[in-house]
Chain A
Amino acid sequence: MNKKFLHLLSILILCGIVVSACASSPATTEAPAAEAPAAEADTTTDTTAEEAAPVSETPSCGTDPVVLNAYFETGFDLPFKLAEEFTKQYPNVTWDIKQDQFANLINETPRLLAGDNAPDLIRLPTMVSFAKQGLLMNLDDYATAFGWDEWPVPQLDQNRVGEDGTRGSGSLYAMGLNYSLTGIFYNKELAAQIGMTEAPATLAELEDLLASAKAAGLLPIMQWGSAKSGMGLAFPLQALMASVGPAQPISDWIYQKEGATIDTESNLVAAQHLQDWIDNGYFPTDINAIEYTDANARFGQGEGVFMFNGDWQNASYDTDMPGNVGFFLMPPAEAGGGPAAMSAPLTYGIAANAKNADCAAFFLNWVASNQTAREIDVAVGGSNPGGPADAVMPAVTEGSVTNETLAAGVVLGKTGSAMDFIANATSAIFAQGWTPELQKMVGGKQDAAGLLEAVQAEYLRELEE
């Protein structure tokens, strides 16, 4: 309160008579924070109390007109298409959709969630801090009501935040519209040129292929690396980490588990592999200046045999190089080992004080369980729609790379392990840790050991905040 008074005093002195302008003081900014409950389990019941009695029957959108207030990510059609179809099936629901770039959403989300007209549905770039600050609705009651708890476990894991602020277990704070998968895309024509007849089964086989691509005068791997897009070498690095070592410590680090470190022996081996790849000239020489879209365009034009990327790019690869693009998961170092891949939900959450939380939750359930929605999900999004274990996987156009990514997803689900992205460990670890340090590695100013050390130091510094 004392602080509030100080605020007010300083503002009053400064603004003098202009009372209306004084409304833009931080004195009031603090109010929602003070009211917002810390991440406690009763958030849901608090905020939904006025809408419906705590979920006794399955929540729905009712029959009265509802306007869902949503924030989507610019450049991705999927949520827009789903919203359109949802209104077709439930005409009483209309949408008020705002959109912004992902990078802007990272900066805007806390203020949107804390605002008065808080979004019913919002694309979440990160979630731990918002959950801890009490800005996100706890979805546990909805999970029970809709039976999400019975879905295959890995789907919801990444969206859970524990009371100690670690991810991976605890209460559910978000749902995925779909579950993307990363791995290695390849140009079929070029791969045939270097004698690749089937996907490599071990890391050594993959490295042989890279060497023969280089020897054949081809660019082995197309990847991006500009600070404007974020360093794309984080993809092969994480793939290597999970190939030479266990995936669990990487997940623990991403989930900010107590004592977790990225600076481990097996990760060092992985980073050394990456450094060898760089030194061998397996990546474009101008990688530090290549943006994400440029890298994809160049790969589409036939530059690069392989590219580490995710299935969200399927539709555009199918357009750029129809029938000529394939996909496989990063092979394990030892023959017969299980594959591991970065696989993250396209995360959407509900603000703690959203007006139409029930309807938003109903929508999230509909996306995963309605067959038309699942078809849109696969056709437009290119990724696995998730949902109940017994749900039918929609058919895919013949020759589309989506067939291969979906099949790989099944393999991963049975024998492998899925991880979130190492760039998502903290909100700034990508921009302040991985990107600059990997760029230095490309520039010959950082080695494998130094890379892991520097990123771990940045990680600890950010957690300290």
Chain B
Amino acid sequence: MLPVCSKQSRLNIYGNWKSKESGCVTMPEFSKLSSLMKKTSDKVRVPNKVSRRFSLGGKDRRETIIGGLFVTPALVMYAIFVLVPLVLSVYYSFFRWNGITPMTWVGLKNYRTVFEVPDLLATIFNAFKLVLFFSIIPVGLGLIVASVIQRVGSGRFGSITRTVLFLPQVIPLVAAGIIWGWLLALPGLINEVLTAVGLESFTRAWLGDFTWALPSVGMIGVWVLLGFCTVLLSTGITKIDPALYESARIDGASWWNEFLSITVPLLKYEIGVCLTVTVINALSAFDIVYVSTAGGPGNSTAVPGVKIYILAFTEQRIGLASALAVLLMILVLVVVLPLQRLNREEE
């Protein structure tokens, strides 16, 4: 019995913590993507056929059952690895528990602790600062890069640019974090370059500096997420009728006019997806931060993900960790749901 138990508790605890990250991450993302997919399929296929599928003919009902059977394996996995841990961590968050000995009911005390301990609350503010780097900058830059590729020509140049920018997505974040750690060190490449171009006064230990550590971690995020946004946005651009650009150009529109009047409005769904995914990445960031700074110096880069990990596994305070995790999930929903609505209203 015992070995199973130990594995179980590990699985549970891991699942818990992970659920904060992936559980809440996948849901809004999924709904956004599915609404997008539906939109395109509505356009491409004959819409009637879709709705007729769901009327209750005898043959159709059989198809529904068969369809249901196909969905079951995925649904079961989803329930076991997402829903169960999600509910369990909400449950744990009302207890004081070290993961081993019996749990003690403490009501809302864990939640109160999160708001009372400045270090815990500060992690949430740090997460919002990361949104600037993980979302605003990659989406903004991505838009510019995508429209430049579109204008200059989408041939070889375009695909090479996209590939290069997308490469960071292929590299494991832990490896990227370690290498960025070397680059940003005082004897690292970035400071060497600064010195070489005469900016020696700007050199510093980027990840060890109270002012610069969070922006430096943020720049790693830009590097990772820019490619994702660029690829998504430039795929969106190819969908825009070239005639629009042509007529704009005949009317003498500048690149900037084209960008503001055609590219951005017509890409709003793609921008919505980009923002949703990257905002979630920022708020639930863990790996990049843990590997590059582990929250230092002096908690200046501590984000909820890292703190949850330390609370749960180093301090063995599963209850408090779960409470912070539940709050993180609520926070993600509070931020992401309005983004979703923004897109939906304009349908």
Contacts and interface: CB of A to CB of B under 8 A. Distances in A.
A26 B88 contact: yes
A226 interface: yes
A14 B297 CA distance: 42
B209 interface: yes
A15 B297 contact: no
Given A116-B1, A227-B293, A288 B205 contact: yes
B309 to A, nearest CB: 9
Contacts of B3: 115-117
Contacts of A36: 100-101
B208 interface: yes
Provide the main secondary structure of the chain A interface. helix
A353 B205 CA distance: 48
Nearest to B88: A26
A193 interface: no
Contacts of B310: 428, 431-432
B300 to A, nearest CB: 8
Interface residues of B, number: 53
A116 B2 contact: yes
Contacts of A465: 96, 315, 317
A326 interface: no
B297 A427 contact: no
Interface in B205-242: 205-210
Contacts of A33: 100-102
B4 A116 contact: yes
Interface in B266-319: 291, 293-299, 310, 313-317
A106 interface: yes
B176 interface: no
Nearest to B113: A461
B91 interface: yes
Interface stretch (A145-153, A268-276, A395-403, A437-445): A437-445
Interface string A228-241: 10000000000000
B55 to A, nearest CB: 29
B163 interface: no
A427 B76 CA distance: 38
A446 interface: yes
Given A32-B2, A288-B297, A440-B298, A26 B9 contact: yes
B117 to A, nearest CB: 8
B39 interface: no
Contact of B5 (A31, A226, A446): A31
A324 interface: no
B208 A15 contact: no
Given A23-B4, A31-B1, A227 B100 contact: no
Contacts of A446: 298
A228 B293 contact: yes
A289 B185 contact: yes
A5 to B, nearest CB: 13
Contacts of A226: 207-208, 293-294, 296
Nearest to B104: A3
A437 B298 contact: yes
Interface in B57-96: 76, 79-80, 83-84, 87-88, 91, 96
Interface string A114-139: 11111000000000010001010000
Contacts of B129: none
A25 B208 CA distance: 42
A445 B296 contact: no
A14 B5 contact: no
A3 to B, nearest CB: 6
B169 interface: no
A17 to B, nearest CB: 9
8 contacts: A15-B84, A24-B80, A116-B5, A285-B186, A427-B315, A428-B310, A446-B298, A461-B117
Interface of B: 1-12, 76, 79-80, 83-84, 87-88, 91, 96, 98-103, 117, 119, 184-186, 204-210, 291, 293-299, 310, 313-317
